[in-house]
Amino acid sequence: MPSPVGHVLGAVAAGWLVGRPAAERRARWRQVAILAAISIAPDLDLLIGRHSMETHSIGAAVLVGALAAWRRWPVASTRSRIFAAVCLAWLSHPLFDILALDTSTPLGVMLFWPFSREHLQTGWSVFAAISRRYWLDGFVAYTLLALAREVIILAPVLFLVYAIRRVPPDPAARP
C-alpha cells in the first residue's frame, strides 16, 4: 500500500484531470488540501477495523463524489466536474493500493463493492508496501526508498496534469 504522500500526489492529479487547477493561488491550495484529505480518507477505515473494505471501492467513491457535488467546494465549477474530480481522487486510493503488494489479510481491496465483496489484488509492485512496524531494523531506509519511488513515479504525472489543465493567467489582470 502506498504512503499518504503517494496517495496525495495521485489524487491531486486525478482531481485536476477533470476539475482543473484553480487560476488563483490561494484557491488552488484549497483544492490541493481538499483533494489531499479525500485521498487519505479511505484509510479512516483503520479506526473501525475494516481496512481495505467498503471505503476502498467504486461505491464509496461514487457516494463521496455525489456528496461533494451536492455540497460545493471553494472553486466555481459545475456539479458534474466536482463529482468527477472527487470521485476520481477517492478512487485513486484503492487503485494505487492494488498496484502494491498487500501482505496483510484480507489481501487486496474490495474494489467493486457494493456489487461484490471480493478482495482484488493485481500482484504487481508498482508501489512498495508501506510498513507500520517502525521498530524493525531498516524501517526508515525502506520507507524513504518507498517514498522516493512514489515521488519519482507520481510527481511527473502531477506536473504534467497541472501543465495541461491549468488555467492560463489573464494578461488583462496584470497592472
Residue spans per domain, the chain? 4-173
DSSP conformational letter for 56:
S
pTM of the model: 0.86
Beta bridge partners of 120: 109
| Residue of 55, 165, 155, 156 lying closest to 114 (CA atoms) | 55
Look-up: residue for cell 506536473? 159
SS3 109: strand
CA angle 93/55/162 to nearest 5° reads 30
Check pLDDT > 60 for residue 96. Answer: yes
Look-up: residue for cell 457535488? 69
pLDDT digits (tens, 9 = 90+) for 62-86: 999 999 888 765 555 678 888 999 9
Can you give the pLDDT at residue 170?
A: 62
Can you give the pLDDT at residue 173?
A: 56
| Residue of 3, 23, 13 lying closest to 155 (CA atoms) | 13
pLDDT digits (tens, 9 = 90+) for 10-31: 999 999 999 888 888 898 999 9
SS3 5: helix
pLDDT digits (tens, 9 = 90+) for 114-150: 999 999 888 888 998 777 777 878 888 888 999 999 9
Look-up: residue for cell 489484488? 121
